[in-house]
Structure 1
Amino acid sequence: MADLPLVLLHAFPVDARMWRPLRDGLTARHRLITPDQRGLGRTPLPETDREPTLDDAARDVIALLDKLELEQVVLGGCSMGGYVTMAVLRAAPERVAGLVLIDTKATADTPEAAQARRDLAGRAEAEGVGGWLAEAMLPNLVSASTRETRPDVVESLRGLIDSQQGAGVAWAARAMAARPDSTELLTAADVPAVVIVGEEDGLTPPDAAQALAEALPKGELVVVPQAGHLTPLEAPAMVSEAILGWWPFG
């Protein structure tokens, strides 16, 4: 199992370019696959009348594994990417040899949080995302330390957000709002897992990450200092080291 590929799924509302700072560190040791999810980055949003659901995003990932002829992978993601990872685990647990869960949580949205996502979706659909979405989300996505001392990271993130299509952002927001609680799913996931969280993550804070790690039968927790909700952008070397230091597959 030493040659298992690592598939990492990106956060909302960005695309797979968020993994670029980790790529060199991880690809020196493992095959790394980082797809854009539907409607974001370079992946188009399929035409469908179906209500948005992360189950469809999970089917996209499974179809990619089929196309690449990969029977099993180590699967992970950041924030929304973690939610999609859980949806894949629900749909095809036999494809998942290990889990990397970064700044994410197993619980469903509260009614208030779900409504906020639907409101965001409506605005993104009507106006696009330029000029407002980055300003609205940046304070929650990166730590105060990063905002004060790392303008390069902030501007890179702003560019990633501003480049997204409103329809894709809207689809993802509605799909996340409808996601189920996955705590019991993870309790039954008897595979090696690492949970990584930023010390200053206000959206999925360290205590939520600890609960996530404790729910997993083989879960380990790594807290990244002075980082917020997007640790792969804020502290890529530490996230790479956490994954490589944990890697249990030879």
Structure 2
Amino acid sequence: MNLPRRSLLATGLAAALIATPTAAAAHNGPDRDGADGQEGFVEVEGARIFYQIEGEGQPMLFVHGYPLSGALFAENREELAEDYQVITVDLRGYGRSEALGEQPVGSVESYAQDVLAVMDELGVDSAVIGGMSMGGPIVFSMYQQAPDRFDGMILIDTVAAPAPPPEVGTWRGLIEVAREQGTEAVPPLIIDEMLTGEARMEHPELVQYLIGIMNEASLQAYVAGAEALATRPDFQPLLDDIGVPALVLVGLQDTIYPYEFSQQMADAIPDAELEIIDDASHAGIIEEADEFNDAIEDWADDQGFEEK
């Protein structure tokens, strides 16, 4: 498979390893808490995983990217909960979740096991399962481990290919920054890749909201997540074996995993639909939440999920 023509975020981060200012976080932006939902913790091996549920009907579960939390999906959860039961989780060490004691080296497989354990504890036999960025490889690993738990799949600004050497260097560089300068030194390095320049200029509250989410992650989570991304398996051979309908969503302005990655995934998955959102970047799921919600709702309606 030919890699997309554009580079990943490695170029911008390399120079920043020398000296990086920290940024104070303020929790402005979307309402993090569902108005009519429920929330709690699930005890899994070595961690307390925070979850939120809103709505009723066909379950939809979303897995966030690095170094974020389920709060990324606040606006999606609120809107989609009008027709579906929407579940979000904070991976161990992110958001309100806690990693207890010494943790194993981060891997997408271990994150996938955590999310499956949450489904078990909540009594969710199967769901439409979506993943943004790092959440995509986690979803692929979940499918490898338990394909019967999937009613459908949503892939959001993500990738099936393994990390090439420049990207591996980027993630290992972030580990170095987090360890040597502290975790609050990392968000300023990546926030420009999360949102378009227009969004950063016109919605500073969204910038601060995302930085606030990133500043909640523990050092352990920063290290484990970056290592999981650096060492993720090659899930490309899995794509043509995916036996559920899939929606592939990507922002046209995404420079971390450019839209060509999503095109390649959509071409390889037997029953996949691709939606490219013109004005969105890597965090388009919150940057252009209405457009992403509309795409999810239209696809889910076409699949008949609302009636289930």
Q: 1:211 aligns with which of 244, 247, 264?
A: 264
Alpha-carbon displacement from aligned partner over 1:103-153 (angstroms, at most 9, x marks no partner) = 0010010122112212212332344311x2111001111112212222221
1:108 corresponds to: 162
| Distance in 2 between residues matched to 1:122 and 1:45, nearest whole Å | 20
Q: 1:27 aligns with which of 81, 84, 96?
A: 81
Q: CA deviation at 1:23?
A: 1.9
Alpha-carbon displacement from aligned partner over 1:200-248 (angstroms, at most 9, x marks no partner) = 1111112211111111101101111211000111011111111110001
Q: 2:148 aligns with which of 94, 101, 119?
A: 94
Given that 1:4 and 1:72 are in contact with CA atoms closer than 8 Å, whether structure 2 keeps it comes out as no
1:45 aligned partner, one-letter code = A
Q: CA deviation at 1:155?
A: 1.7
| Distance in 2 between residues matched to 1:244 and 1:35, nearest whole Å | 21
User: Does residue 1:15 correspond to 2:61, yes or no?
Assistant: no
Given that 1:39 and 1:171 are in contact with CA atoms closer than 8 Å, whether structure 2 keeps it comes out as no
1:77 corresponds to: 131
| Distance in 1 between residues matched to 2:104 and 2:191, nearest whole Å | 30
Q: 1:38 aligns with which of 65, 89, 92?
A: 92
2:4 corresponds to: none
Q: 1:148 aligns with which of 201, 209, 223?
A: 201
| Distance in 1 between residues matched to 2:281 and 2:103, nearest whole Å | 36
| Distance in 2 between residues matched to 1:245 and 1:46, nearest whole Å | 40
Q: CA deviation at 1:169?
A: 1.2
2:288 corresponds to: 235
1:186 corresponds to: 239
2:6 corresponds to: none
Matching of residues 118-197 of structure 1 within 5 Å: 118-130=172-184, 132-197=185-250
| Distance in 2 between residues matched to 1:47 and 1:53, nearest whole Å | 17
| Distance in 1 between residues matched to 2:121 and 2:227, nearest whole Å | 27
1:61 corresponds to: 115
| Structure 1 residue matching 2:57: 3-state secondary structure | coil
| Distance in 1 between residues matched to 2:85 and 2:179, nearest whole Å | 36
Q: Per the alignment, do residues 78 and 65 of structure 1 end up closer, same or farther by CA in structure 2, a change over 3 Å counting? A: same
45-54 vs 171-180, greater mean Cα deviation = 45-54
Alpha-carbon displacement from aligned partner over 1:11-42 (angstroms, at most 9, x marks no partner) = 11111111112122100000000000011111
Q: 1:245 aligns with which of 283, 293, 298?
A: 298
Given that 1:124 and 1:167 are in contact with CA atoms closer than 8 Å, whether structure 2 keeps it comes out as no
96-105 vs 40-49, greater mean Cα deviation = 40-49
1:60 aligned partner, one-letter code = D
User: Does residue 1:198 correspond to 2:251, yes or no?
Assistant: yes
| Distance in 1 between residues matched to 2:99 and 2:240, nearest whole Å | 32
Q: What 5-or-longer segments of structure 2 have no aligned partner? A: 1-55
2:259 aligned partner, one-letter code = P
Given that 2:106 and 2:223 are in contact with CA atoms closer than 8 Å, whether structure 1 keeps it comes out as no
| Distance in 2 between residues matched to 1:3 and 1:155, nearest whole Å | 33
| Distance in 1 between residues matched to 2:57 and 2:81, nearest whole Å | 12
Q: What 5-or-longer segments of structure 1 have no aligned partner? A: none
| Distance in 2 between residues matched to 1:49 and 1:192, nearest whole Å | 35
| Distance in 2 between residues matched to 1:108 and 1:125, nearest whole Å | 24
| Distance in 1 between residues matched to 2:216 and 2:100, nearest whole Å | 19
Given that 2:130 and 2:153 are in contact with CA atoms closer than 8 Å, whether structure 1 keeps it comes out as yes
| Distance in 1 between residues matched to 2:170 and 2:249, nearest whole Å | 26
User: Pairwise CA RMSD of aligned residues?
Assistant: 1.5
Given that 1:146 and 1:226 are in contact with CA atoms closer than 8 Å, whether structure 2 keeps it comes out as no
2:214 aligned partner, one-letter code = I
Given that 2:57 and 2:83 are in contact with CA atoms closer than 8 Å, whether structure 1 keeps it comes out as no
| Distance in 2 between residues matched to 1:167 and 1:85, nearest whole Å | 21
| Structure 2 residue matching 1:153: 3-state secondary structure | helix
- TM-score if structure 1 supplies the norm length? 0.94
Given that 2:177 and 2:186 are in contact with CA atoms closer than 8 Å, whether structure 1 keeps it comes out as no
| Distance in 1 between residues matched to 2:268 and 2:96, nearest whole Å | 35
| Structure 1 residue matching 2:90: 3-state secondary structure | coil
